[in-house]
Structure 1
Amino acid sequence: MTEYPVIDDPNVFHAACEALAAGTGPVAVDVERASGFRYSQRAYLVQVFRRDAGVFLFDPPALGDFAPLQTAIGDVEWVFHAASQDLPSLRELDLEPRTLFDTELASRLLGHDRVGLAAVVEEVLGITLKKEHSAADWSTRPLPDSWLDYAALDVLYLVDVRDRLAEELEESGKTEFAAQEFAATLAQPPRPPRDDPWRRLSGLHQVKGARNLAVARALWEAREQYAQQQDTSPGRLVPDRSLVAAVLANPQSKHALAGVQAFNGRASRSELDRWWDAIVRGRESDDLPRARVSSDALPPARAWAERNPEADARLKLARPAVEAVAEELHMPTENLLKPEMLRRVAWTPPELTTDAVATALTALGARPWQIEQTTQKIVDAFVEAGQTPDPGLASES
């Protein structure tokens, strides 16, 4: 039997919260979801560790109210590995840290070659973790003992890792870099809903014509509604490829739809009326979608030489300059400055001064430490691109 039982009783939960409140130092926190199995991204297990308290595994569906846990640990630092993945699920439970430390992000800033939890624990502490249940269906009840042991290990060593990485950050002069990144992670607002999310259907590029796109949209909406009702991942009901296959087959009756071999999935036949009604609704819709939608996305860099040669020249000089700074700092370039930010200022540059470029990067979401490290290099590269045009730049890939 596992030494880490799931806590689903309110009395035991309150006792665990009292133990955590009496513990010392930061708390390690992790969440297990049922991504790929359930429609929602809710937490099905919350793991917490604190020194002098121990590891506790909490069952959110059974407990419901997590206010006692927030009270117990809300004022101390929470340690995560990839905090941005767990914060939305925790916030659904009204669990919110005031400060955090992200061991994955710290590992990136320190230039570690591998930043997965098992790799970081092994590199920093010399302890090998098995990651065999990371893609499991954590909505399963009862949870197998082996899964619970795995879940406990996700937090058991995390505070020790945090302390070692904090030392590395201090030694490398990156403590402030990390502090700004952690604060930005905590302050990151939820992603706004996508416009026309049905356009993310895999294989939709095969569908031609507004009327057929309307059918694809109606099928996607019908599947989404049913998946939400069943709390099941949409693709487990009917895969994207099957919805697209139904559109392309253009069946003229419900019986013909049932005969489309490529229209499969566990709900493809049991909910046949639902899918046929969606096809009819799409065919009769007066609201026909546009074949193409406007976007503020920049063209791919390979097209810049033809479409905006001045921007192409700026990017081709600024990109290696930023990469060189990242190499000096021993971190991935994308953690020094997101490539999209550099492309944006290269495509439509502000006045070529450090203040103007810094303002533009700030508006794009760059942190002060990133701006301090890169702004002058970007300005110098842009000025050079404008003053000494190289005919070879436009022909480079």
Structure 2
Amino acid sequence: MSDTTPTDGTPLPPEPETQPEEQPEPLPLLELSDGLPPLTDTEPALAEVCERLAAGTGPVAIDAERASGYRYSQRAYLIQLRREGSGTALVDPVAFESLAPLQEALEGTEWILHAATQDLPCLNERGLVPTALFDTELAGRLLGYPRVGLATLVETLIGRRMKKEHSAADWSTRPLPQSWLEYAALDVEPLVELRDRLAAELEETGKAEWARQEFDALRSFKPTPRPDAWRRTSGMHRVRGRRGLAAVRALWQTRDAIATERDVTPGRIIPDSAIVAAATAASEEGVVLDRSALRSLQGFHGRGASRYSSQWVEALREAAALTENELPSRNPRGDGPPPPRAWADKDAVAAERLRLAREATSALSRQHGLPVENLLTPDLLRRLMWSPPPARDPGDLLDAVVDRLTADGARPWQVALTAPVLVDAVLQAEREPEPEPEPDEPTDQSVGSGDGS
């Protein structure tokens, strides 16, 4: 009997045909509304751009392209600007000794950047400093958007797709291809509209003042140099002994000096794997690496490795000649607290403070719809919980915590939200636990009488 026929012989109605799920229409591509402007690379052309920008209205959208992965420096190789009434301009900063006319034209305007900490250092290097700032990425974070890349925010809020095919290009290339210039111009095309939509949402959610404080702090942003940057050498954990670490340090510092002089990213001279291979070999008992021995190691076959082989050998010899007191340690002491995983063994009360503080700040971040790291940086939280102010009167402790957070760079809105819960964490962690109540003694009525009733 057919599976489609019931036992009484009555045929079943045919099953309805399943319709394939309709795929959403792809969003339209973002396009240049004014066409592609010419590259500004002469003094007369720069003067004309400055005049147009000064005559425009409202904030100025700005972006910069670097050659990360190709050059050692983080200098700007292209600067894009757009303003209402001015259109878009593409400025080649390499062509000019000074961009002072551009800074003068932008004086007093609000700059719109996406991820300002990436572009401000290279703009500042050319003398371009904002009077006021709006960071669309940071605004997205404060508003709780799960993904805050420029393309994602433009799709979400403006409904346009962006091309991203040249994001990793070598922008030090000259001449710059037309397709690259179009990509660069599109990066500033939506920023004014995106800024307006995010600003309206910040106002609606009561976060406009938070954003203003964050943007003001960003204007003076300076990247912090990493101490002992050589310790970030990939694969260094495989190197044994302090003398092996000294070899890593010597090779890394030599490579860094060469890269700085040539303005080439260090990995294009020799990779980290070559440093680790040479340091591992050099740390073996009785092994002396010369130029021939180096060429047999992984990563020392390329032109960069061979060209500087005498410098690699000299670096390894200097490391081998260090005294025991001069050798680097595996885990140097820093000025901050120990890693959180070690707190329970070193200071159980501090570990409890940190646990309570993390719980409280996580609850605050959920309540206000923003990432916990934007509420308070993890490093600042750890430092405070490891070594809180000595006051234990709640009012005095609150004042001291407010002062500490402010001195360490927390913004007023962050201090107002977090200081009370951090004080609670400190006091609660140090509170003596309530003694467990003693169990009641059994009475005669609670014990069987043994009469069988």
Q: Normalising TM by the smaller chain, what interval? A: over 0.9
Question: CA distance change for structure 1 residues 212 and 306 in 2, over 3 Å: closer, same or farther?
Answer: closer
Deviation at 1:388, TM superposition (A): 5.5
Deviation at 1:264, TM superposition (A): 4.2
Asked whether 1:113 is paired with 2:151, we answer no
C-alpha contact 1:258 1:269 (8 A) present in aligned 2:
yes
Aligned to 1:312: 351
Structure 2 letter corresponding to 1:326: S
Which deviates the most, 217-226 or 24-33? 217-226
C-alpha contact 1:103 1:162 (8 A) present in aligned 2:
yes
Give the distance between the partners of 1:219 and 1:70, measured in 2 at CA.
Answer: 41
TM-score under structure 2 normalisation? Answer: 0.82
Structure 1 letter corresponding to 2:263: D
Asked whether 1:371 is paired with 2:438, we answer no
Please state whether the residue corresponding to 1:79 is helix, strand or coil: strand
C-alpha contact 2:163 2:183 (8 A) present in aligned 1:
yes
Asked whether 1:329 is paired with 2:362, we answer no
- Equivalent position to 1:148, from 160, 181, 185: 181
- Equivalent position to 2:290, from 253, 275, 283: 253
Asked whether 1:36 is paired with 2:69, we answer yes
Deviation at 1:306, TM superposition (A): 2.0
Equivalent positions of 1:1-397 (< 5 A) are 3-191=36-224, 193-250=225-282, 251-285=288-322, 288-292=326-330, 293-350=332-389, 351-352=391-392, 353-387=397-431, 389=433
Deviations 1:193-226 (A, max 9, x none): 4443323322233333444333322222221121
Question: CA distance change for structure 1 residues 306 and 211 in 2, over 3 Å: closer, same or farther?
Answer: closer
C-alpha contact 2:289 2:313 (8 A) present in aligned 1:
no
Give the distance between the partners of 2:272 and 2:120, measured in 1 at CA.
Answer: 28
Which deviates the most, 194-203 or 229-238? 194-203
Which deviates the most, 265-274 or 179-188? 265-274
Structure 1 letter corresponding to 2:348: P
Structure 2 letter corresponding to 1:230: R
Please state whether the residue corresponding to 2:118 is helix, strand or coil: helix
Aligned to 2:31: none
TM-score under structure 1 normalisation? Answer: 0.93
Give the distance between the partners of 1:46 and 1:173, measured in 2 at CA.
Answer: 33
C-alpha contact 1:311 1:347 (8 A) present in aligned 2:
yes
Please state whether the residue corresponding to 2:300 is helix, strand or coil: coil
Please state whether the residue corresponding to 2:305 is helix, strand or coil: coil
Deviation at 1:389, TM superposition (A): 4.1
Give the distance between the partners of 2:249 and 2:380, measured in 1 at CA.
Answer: 32
Deviation at 1:44, TM superposition (A): 0.4
C-alpha contact 1:211 1:288 (8 A) present in aligned 2:
no
Where is the helix percentage greater, Structure 1 or Structure 2?
1
Q: Which runs of 5 or more residues in structure 2 are unaligned?
A: 1-34, 283-287, 436-453
Please state whether the residue corresponding to 1:268 is helix, strand or coil: helix
C-alpha contact 1:239 1:265 (8 A) present in aligned 2:
no
Question: CA distance change for structure 1 residues 107 and 266 in 2, over 3 Å: closer, same or farther?
Answer: farther
Q: CA RMSD in A?
A: 2.0
Deviation at 1:280, TM superposition (A): 2.7
Please state whether the residue corresponding to 1:129 is helix, strand or coil: coil
Please state whether the residue corresponding to 1:269 is helix, strand or coil: helix
RCO greater where, 1 or 2, for CA within 8 Å and sep 6 or more? 1
Deviation at 1:265, TM superposition (A): 4.3
Question: CA distance change for structure 1 residues 374 and 195 in 2, over 3 Å: closer, same or farther?
Answer: closer
Deviation at 1:27, TM superposition (A): 0.2
Give the distance between the partners of 2:319 and 2:350, measured in 1 at CA.
Answer: 43
Q: How many residue pairs end up in the alignment?
A: 389
Aligned to 2:3: none
Give the distance between the partners of 1:43 and 1:282, measured in 2 at CA.
Answer: 36
Which deviates the most, 237-246 or 249-258? 249-258
Structure 2 letter corresponding to 1:376: P
Question: CA distance change for structure 1 residues 382 and 132 in 2, over 3 Å: closer, same or farther?
Answer: same
Deviation at 1:120, TM superposition (A): 0.9
Please state whether the residue corresponding to 1:30 is helix, strand or coil: strand
